[in-house]
Structure 1
Amino acid sequence: MVTIKQVSEKAGVSSATVSRVINNTGTVKEKTRERVMTAMAELGYRHNVVAASLASNKTHTIGYVVPELHGSFFGAMMGGTEQALRQAKKHMLIATGHSDAQIEKEQIDALLSRRCDALILHVEAVSDEYLVSLVHQGVELVVVNRFIEEIGDNCISLDNVKGGYLASRHLLDIGHTKIAYIAGSLFKADGKNRLTGHQQALADMGVEYTDNLTYEGNFQAKSGTEGIRALVARGAKFTAVACANDEMASGAMIALRELGRRVPEDVSVIGFDNVDFASYLSPGLTTIDYPVQKIGSMAAHWVLERVYGHTRHEYQHILSPRLILRGTTSSPE
């Protein structure tokens, strides 16, 4: 087996310099780096990750728990994380919690048993108290898309109340007063907070909130379609519909067209998240921007700074959403 000492001798540098090149730490001149890389290739050197982790007490692996793997939201978030970690030569181990408290706990335990140096957690069912207890036990973790005041420094999330407010306030500002709302799962913090924002916008404009105009979906496109059908079946009258995410908004638009209602001429529709496909719908979906890839990247940099001592990057604990105007909203006729 080729050793670091053999690489250093061939490259004409110290073993410490070879180690810095392998681990991408410290400052190494580009010409020196190239010389080391050439020597490694010629000798067939392969870095022994297991031996290195035992020596340093670091595996250079970050565990990542997300609710599910399908959908553009989680892909964009994990993509932002993976890119930042890859550039730092760290690895990501992904597990799914399926929005079930027991499964989330099992996945967290499994990742910790594999000696992950830190965890990035997009968990929806475990309690705040459970996450706080992990931090107090010394587990290095950052929670995304959820803010817990007691461990606020370990959280990176969006102001979902403000986002829900911006969406419905836009509809109110252009003249709508009969606004249906298709909520995400209300046991989830983001679903509940976005509905709260909707209710606050109505109250600020003197419009009464009614349960008859609200349908609880599950953040999946199908529940947006089902939501419109259910609202119409119960006799709800509305000129606009605010949806708690873009997937449900796209499902709502399908149902409205099936019912012969034009978007936005008959019914305005606004979504939330600003995922990639939102701009490709016809018409393009007016929505609330959730910089999900940026949040994924910020979570990675949080880990790189706290666990590995990398240079500090700018990150926020609560990001502010913004309105993205496209073609699915207009004033009521």
Structure 2
Amino acid sequence: RHAGVSAATVCRVINNTVYVKPVTRERVETAMREFNYQRNAAALAMAKRSGKTLGLLTGNLDDPFFSRMARGIEDTTRKARVQLVVCSGGHRSELEKAGLDFLINQGCEAIVAHLPRMDEEDILRYAAHTPALVVINRYLPVIANRCVWLDNVGAAQAATNQLIQHGHRKIACIAA
């Protein structure tokens, strides 16, 4: 409105989709500079629905589990010609939230996230606004279809039963 033109004209100038008279274009661009207008990458990606960016929020990139997982995801995204954006939540709630915000602002249409410290309520709020959010290594019944987790207790029971069936009686577990 500051340039005295319609929103549609501003859109045409920003996206350079159709011809706009040079004098009108200059008025719009002047107003954009005056208000320090910056394109929002997340909004642009959502509008285009390009489906070409996957976000990965790990617990800690130094952890062998996460580095191997990131490598596998990177191999898959590279083959699919999908861009991968990676960040770490550092096993801290505030860093997990900041990581999700960063990935969303980068225009990630889908996000795979390890969120061990974030409150369930906060995760569900993000999930409601990010339909392609998948939570790893945590089970939330409300979004169970978007959770991938390891059943460590069940696996330990199955391993112990297997050892007992093979005659072992002195069984120990060493965990880090």
TM over 0.5: yes
Q: Please state how far the C-alpha of 1:139 moved relative to its aligned partner.
A: 4.0
Question: In the TM superposition, what are the counterparts of 1:157-306 in structure 2 within 5 Å?
Answer: 157-173=149-165, 174-176=167-169, 239-244=170-175, 248=176
Equivalent residue, structure 2, for 1:70: 62
Q: Deviation per CA, 1:219-250: give whole Å up to 9, x if none.
A: xxxxxxxxxxxxxxxxxxxx442134xxx4xx
- Whole-angstrom CA distance in 2 between matches of 1:104 and 1:54: 22
Q: Specify the code of the residue in structure 2 equivalent to 1:82.
A: E
The 3-state SS of whatever aligns with 1:119 is: strand
Consecutive unaligned residues in structure 1, runs of 5 or more: 1-49, 177-238, 249-333
Structure 2 counterpart of 1:123, from 98, 115, 132: 115
- Whole-angstrom CA distance in 1 between matches of 2:59 and 2:120: 16
Equivalent residue, structure 2, for 1:103: 95
Q: Please state how far the C-alpha of 1:54 moved relative to its aligned partner.
A: 8.2
- Whole-angstrom CA distance in 2 between matches of 1:175 and 1:59: 51
Equivalent residue, structure 2, for 1:145: 137
Checking the alignment, whether the CA contact within 8 Å between 2:57 and 2:113 is kept in structure 1 is: yes
Equivalent residue, structure 2, for 1:80: 72
Go from structure 1 to structure 2 and tell me whether the alpha carbon gap of 1:54 and 1:71 turns closer, same or farther (over 3 Å shift): closer
Q: Specify the code of the residue in structure 2 equivalent to 1:131.
A: I
Q: Deviation per CA, 1:30-78: give whole Å up to 9, x if none.
A: xxxxxxxxxxxxxxxxxxxx8x958724372211111111243222212
Q: Deviation per CA, 1:78-115: give whole Å up to 9, x if none.
A: 22212221111101111111111111111111111121
Go from structure 1 to structure 2 and tell me whether the alpha carbon gap of 1:53 and 1:103 turns closer, same or farther (over 3 Å shift): closer
Q: Please state how far the C-alpha of 1:171 moved relative to its aligned partner.
A: 4.3
Go from structure 1 to structure 2 and tell me whether the alpha carbon gap of 1:142 and 1:126 turns closer, same or farther (over 3 Å shift): same
Consecutive unaligned residues in structure 2, runs of 5 or more: 1-40
- Whole-angstrom CA distance in 1 between matches of 2:111 and 2:93: 16
The 3-state SS of whatever aligns with 2:117 is: coil
Checking the alignment, whether the CA contact within 8 Å between 2:45 and 2:107 is kept in structure 1 is: no
Checking the alignment, whether the CA contact within 8 Å between 1:65 and 1:122 is kept in structure 2 is: yes
- Whole-angstrom CA distance in 1 between matches of 2:101 and 2:74: 21
**Aligned CA-pair RMSD:** 2.5
Q: Specify the code of the residue in structure 1 equivalent to 2:106.
A: R
Checking the alignment, whether the CA contact within 8 Å between 1:65 and 1:121 is kept in structure 2 is: yes
Equivalent residue, structure 2, for 1:112: 104
- Whole-angstrom CA distance in 1 between matches of 2:146 and 2:83: 20
Aligned residue-pair number: 133
Checking the alignment, whether the CA contact within 8 Å between 1:167 and 1:242 is kept in structure 2 is: no
Identity of aligned residues (%): 26
TM-score with structure 1 setting the length: 0.36
Equivalent residue, structure 1, for 2:146: 154
The 3-state SS of whatever aligns with 1:242 is: coil
Q: Specify the code of the residue in structure 2 equivalent to 1:242.
A: C
- Whole-angstrom CA distance in 1 between matches of 2:67 and 2:123: 24
Checking the alignment, whether the CA contact within 8 Å between 2:46 and 2:107 is kept in structure 1 is: no
- Whole-angstrom CA distance in 2 between matches of 1:57 and 1:165: 44
Checking the alignment, whether the CA contact within 8 Å between 1:59 and 1:115 is kept in structure 2 is: no
